Structure 1
Amino acid sequence: MTGAAVATALALAGCGSSGSSDAQLSVGASYMPQPVSADMAAGFLTITNKGGTKDELTSVTSDSAGEVTMHETDGGAMEEVNSFEVPAHGQLVFKSGGNHLMFENLKHRPEQGDTITLKLKFAKSGPLTIEMPVKSATYNPSTGH
């Protein structure tokens, strides 16, 4: 990512923690490729835990979709899961071809330039609300295009 892209991702990232957990969670590099379908889209982001306690992402919601589900990809097979561990001093990465979010029953089709508001809920930490930018359908985060 370019410096400007990193700065933008950090500016868009939500940040928070709760007093009941040693987890220190932040979200960055979030984006949704402009969906080709009118009722379904994918989303990607990175959750960083700078704390000494692991946490768990237990759900994701958005007013833009009827439901947001979490999926892991293992050996090319996609499977819906109920939670993902966010390791202490580590990251949980959602990326194309790997773990990802699925926005189902979209209330309107997001267009490039829009932002989608998400609420991420965790087992130990307080919820984080983030703004996910909608990028081009062919967006590649490694090149920023």
Structure 2
Amino acid sequence: MTLYTNTDMIIIKTVDGIDIPFNIDVIKQSNTINDILEFTDDNTYIPLLHEKCTNTVMMKIKEFLDHIYLNPNEDNLLVEYEKSYGNTPLSEWLENYINNDFNINMLFDIIAVSDYLDIKNLNTLTCSEMAKRIKHTHSIRELFP
């Protein structure tokens, strides 16, 4: 039994040449990909040209999109998180995802790609995390020596 209502897949090609299969409904959370799919005849393969769209970054984005698709209540939580300017508590999964998986360089890359792909909830989450990490002068000095 599949967890997805639609079993159609699409291949996203990263800038480092890796093909990543996505469920089509999952990847449509990206407004950019959704727009591409609306205006092209080939709905099976999309190459990404942004320099930060590497396999590593796209696999982290895939993990996030899969989780949000399978747990729609998390998407609602992220809407509340944005409305409260980051003061709404996150779920355990989201906390672990954002706090345990990203060093500062990966966080910058995820922000850039989530903006490029227009994935609003991921961009909100990662930008908020970046703001928390560089809240104090000493944090900024460590980041930009």
What TM-score comes out, normalization by structure 1 length?
Answer: 0.28
The answer to which structure has the higher helix fraction is 2
